[in-house]
């Protein structure tokens, strides 16, 4: 190859005027000239680099082709499994991979307690307890002050004493920490102070039903009320709520009414109970003063005292309901019989008088309407102590009431050996015997509901108990009519219990207060009123007791200085009935319906004896079988041959105790001799002998 000539050897051409030999720009070939070839030297590294780039291009092309192939395969697969042949998802796999978004708390140690409508009355909530190891606390004084600063109510001195006790390695500082307090203590970062996961029993309704619910210890063990009575049930089945018969709405109404009465009359305390006349279930039971159930441990003793079941009080004239029921059911006394109330009764150094003496012969309805102690005493002495005790034993006045509260106490009464003339008389009008208000209202239930006794209960069972017949339906009907008279009669003692549209019947009670030495205190009494409604078909019985009321300046224009049951307790009962009636579905009557219902319950204060019947009264004082005490009280000598058969028949009717579930065997008792003049006025009924005798 011939080497090209040097550039400097080329003859320059001067640019100018053009032409064949005209000069051209450097590097530009002449027109028509053949292009020259340039020679480039390529080194080995360049060749290697070019080879590498070629390989890279090949691989990229292969990779791209593979990616396109895979993409097409995946796309085809997706189309197949979603369009051509869809595959359902695996539910188990999805469930296993789904994260849980809820936190399941451990089950509580105690079951909830609810009212009959499912409203929560007691519930266990997660809580924390604060404890410490004194051996690990560096400065007890500083730690105590820091803890007390974030937990109000804790005494720094108490905390320091516990933290300084080096002989122990575990001490509780506070067992009722709130969440905010736990966070505040945790921020302190005190060595040796720790938290323990616990539960706290909470009572959302505060003071309502506090005496019924009771309370628990810091370690969640029941110590009072149903929390104590049903402690095993609440802990053995913590997931199943315990449903009570209480209606928290009615409970609030009763508490408000008795609290108002206690405040108006500056009384020592009060109690109110509403019980079903058809089942014996307690709908409401309030005792004041009371306490917040969350603070049972710090409540004073007077507030913790349950006056409804723990206090034994003489019932006063409310007890005449028992005396007259017993008398009419025995068939020895009839509503048209009249008794001498013209003068007080003197027995030894004791005298029985009436609050408002009438000085007339009174029939049985009149005795109840004006609450004559003299009339009740004469009736009780005709029956005698044996029949009286049998009646009271049957209705539970000699034993503890069967209610699910450990605080319930048995009644107080005279022993049989001292139950003589004076005791028979005083017990007839509610003196000389004492029982709790719950026990008394339970015994009034059969008086108004047709004669069926139900054990009082705080449980809301699915079906009502069968009950036991303890008196005839006739007796109950007569008693309802006479109780209605107490409220409607112009001179009745219960006129302030009237509620428009509601057929309320009842009985007042004013009892003296027994002092510490066993003697009655002067110028002090307990005022009460027992009521039922509606009297044409009784649904509920209401009882209010106001303890030791005073005629305050505020109430003086109304009560005129008296603190009797008619002035103090009857208005509270009327307030309760007017508010709970509509809530319980019992609407007031009006117009013709009200007039007809009232007419059906009407009974004259002094009803005449039916034709052919001989009534007790002047000249005919005693029926067959009358007790010797009736003769003694009338200053007459008892007959030598008492009518034992008539007395035993009355006693058998008194001891009637027929469970309703099984059919009772009925036996007709023989009638009294026809020659007896009183047989016309006191016929012997066919009765069912008791299957079992009432215990006592």
Which amino acids are annotated catalytic? 317
Question: ω before 289 within 30° of 0 (cis)?
Answer: yes
CA diameter of the chain = 188
Q: Which of 360, 389, 384 is nearest to 372 (CA)?
A: 360
Measuring CA to CA, how many Å separate 154 from each of 144, 151, 160, 324? 9, 6, 11, 59
**Measuring CA to CA, which residue among 469, 471, 537 is closest to residue 503?**
537
**What whole-number distance in Å separates Cα of residue 347 and Cα of residue 352?**
8
Instruction: List Cβ neighbours of 267 (8 Å cut-off, separation of 6 or more).
Output: 261, 546, 547, 548, 549, 550, 568
* Residue 469 neighbours by CB under 8 Å, 6+ apart: 451, 452, 453, 656, 657, 658, 659, 660, 664, 688
Instruction: Let me know: does 212 contact 226? Beta carbons within 8 Å.
Output: yes
DSSP state of 402: -
**512, β-bridge pairs:** 525
CB within 8 A of 46, min separation 6: which ones? none
The Cα–Cα gap between 457 and 403 comes to: 6
HSE, side-chain direction, 13 A CA sphere, residue 403: 31
DSSP string, 527-582: EEEEEEE-TTS--EEEEEEEES----TTTHHHHTT---HHHHTHHHHHHHHHHHHH
Q: How many angstroms separate the Cα of 90 from the Cα of each of 87, 93, 97? A: 9, 5, 11
CA dist., res. 503 & res. 485, Å (int): 11
Q: How far apart are CA 534 and CA 587, in angstroms?
A: 10
Between CA 159 and CA 168 the distance in angstroms is: 14
**What are the two backbone dihedrals, phi and then psi, of residue 398, each rounded to the nearest 5 degrees?**
-115, 15
Please tell me the number of Cα atoms within 13 Å of 502 on its side-chain side: 27
**What's the CA gap between 603 and 607, in Å, rounded?**
7
C-alpha closest to that of 480 among 535, 411, 539 = 535
Instruction: Let me know: does 361 contact 341? Beta carbons within 8 Å.
Output: yes
| Secondary structure string (H, E, C) spanning 648-673 | HHHHHHHCCCEECCCCCCCECCCCCC
Cα separations (Å) of 560 from 132, 147, 247, 260, 488?
A: 63, 58, 36, 19, 21
The two structure tokens encoding residue 394? 């049957």
Torsion of CA 268, 515, 543, 211, to 10 degrees: 60
Measured distance CA(423)–CA(218) in Å, rounded: 48
């Amino acid at each position: 190859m011939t080497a090209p000539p040097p550039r400097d050897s080329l003859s320059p051409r001067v640019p100018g005027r053009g032409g064949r030999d005209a000069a051209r720009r450097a590097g530009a070939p002449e027109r028509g000239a053949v292009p020259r070839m340039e020679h480039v030297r390529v080194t080995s590294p360049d060749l290697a680099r070019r080879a590498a780039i070629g390989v890279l291009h090949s691989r990229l092309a292969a990779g791209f082709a593979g990616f396109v192939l895979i993409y097409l395969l995946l796309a085809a697969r997706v189309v197949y499994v979603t369009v051509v042949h869809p595959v359902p998802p695996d539910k188990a796999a999805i469930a296993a991979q789904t994260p849980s978004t809820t936190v399941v708390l451990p089950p509580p140690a105690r079951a909830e307690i609810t009212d009959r409508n499912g409203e929560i009355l007691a519930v266990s909530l997660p809580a924390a307890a604060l404890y410490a190891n004194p051996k690990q606390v560096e400065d007890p004084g500083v730690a105590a002050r820091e803890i007390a600063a974030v937990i109000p109510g804790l005494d720094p001195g108490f905390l320091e004493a516990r933290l300084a006790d080096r002989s122990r390695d575990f001490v509780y500082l506070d067992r009722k920490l709130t969440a905010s307090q736990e966070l505040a203590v945790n921020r302190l970062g005190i060595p040796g102070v720790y938290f323990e996961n616990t539960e706290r029993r909470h009572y959302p309704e505060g003071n309502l039903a506090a005496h019924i619910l009771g309370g628990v210890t810091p370690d969640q063990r029941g110590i009072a009320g149903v929390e104590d009575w049903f402690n095993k049930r609440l802990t053995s089945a913590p997931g199943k709520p315990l449903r009570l018969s209480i209606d928290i709405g009615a409970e609030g109404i009763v508490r408000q009414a008795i609290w108002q009465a206690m405040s108006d009359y500056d009384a020592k305390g009060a109690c109110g109970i509403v019980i079903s006349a058809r089942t014996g279930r307690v709908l409401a039971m309030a005792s004041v003063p009371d306490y917040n159930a969350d603070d049972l441990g710090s409540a004073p003793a007077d507030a913790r005292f349950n006056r409804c079941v723990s206090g034994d009080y003489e019932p006063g004239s409310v007890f005449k309901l028992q005396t007259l029921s017993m008398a009419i059911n025995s068939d020895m006394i009839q509503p048209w019989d009249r008794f001498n109330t013209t003068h007080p009764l003197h027995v030894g150094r004791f005298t029985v008088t009436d609050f408002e003496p009438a000085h007339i012969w009174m029939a049985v309805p009149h005795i109840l309407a004006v609450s004559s102690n003299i009339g009740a005493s004469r009736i009780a002495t005709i029956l005698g102590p044996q029949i009286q005790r049998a009646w009271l034993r049957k209705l539970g006045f000699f034993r503890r009431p069967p209610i699910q509260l450990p605080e319930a106490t048995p009644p107080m009464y005279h022993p049989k050996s001292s139950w003589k003339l004076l005791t028979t008389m005083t017990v007839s009008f509610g003196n000389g015997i004492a029982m709790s208000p719950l026990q008394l209202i339970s015994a009034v239930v059969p008086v108004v509901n047709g004669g069926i006794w139900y054990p009082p209960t705080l449980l809301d069972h699915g079906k009502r108990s069968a009950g036991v017949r303890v008196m005839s339906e006739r007796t109950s009907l007569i008693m309802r009519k006479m109780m209605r008279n107490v409220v409607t009669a112009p001179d009745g003692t219960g006129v302030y219990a009237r509620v428009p549209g509601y057929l309320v019947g009842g009985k007042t009670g004013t009892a003296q207060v027994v002092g510490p030495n066993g003697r009655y205190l002067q110028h002090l009494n307990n005022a009460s009123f027992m009521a039922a409604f509606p009297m044409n078909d009784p649904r509920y019985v209401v009882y209010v007791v106001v303890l030791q009321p005073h005629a305050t300046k505020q109430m003086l224009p109304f009560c005129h200085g008296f603190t009797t049951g008619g002035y103090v307790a009857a208005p509270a009962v009327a307030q309760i009935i007017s508010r709970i009636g509509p809530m319980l579905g019992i609407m007031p009557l009006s117009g013709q319906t009200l007039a007809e219902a009232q007419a059906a319950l009407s009974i004259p204060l002094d009803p005449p004896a039916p034709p052919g019947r001989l009534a007790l009264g002047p000249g005919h004082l005693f029926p067959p079988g009358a007790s010797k005490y009736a003769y003694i009280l009338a200053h007459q000598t008892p007959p030598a041959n008492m009518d034992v058969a008539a007395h035993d028949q009355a006693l058998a009717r008194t001891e009637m105790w027929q469970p309703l579930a099984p059919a009772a065997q009925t036996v007709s008792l023989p009638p009294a001799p026809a020659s007896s003049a009183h047989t016309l006025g006191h016929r012997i009924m066919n009765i069912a002998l008791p299957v079992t005798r009432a215990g006592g």
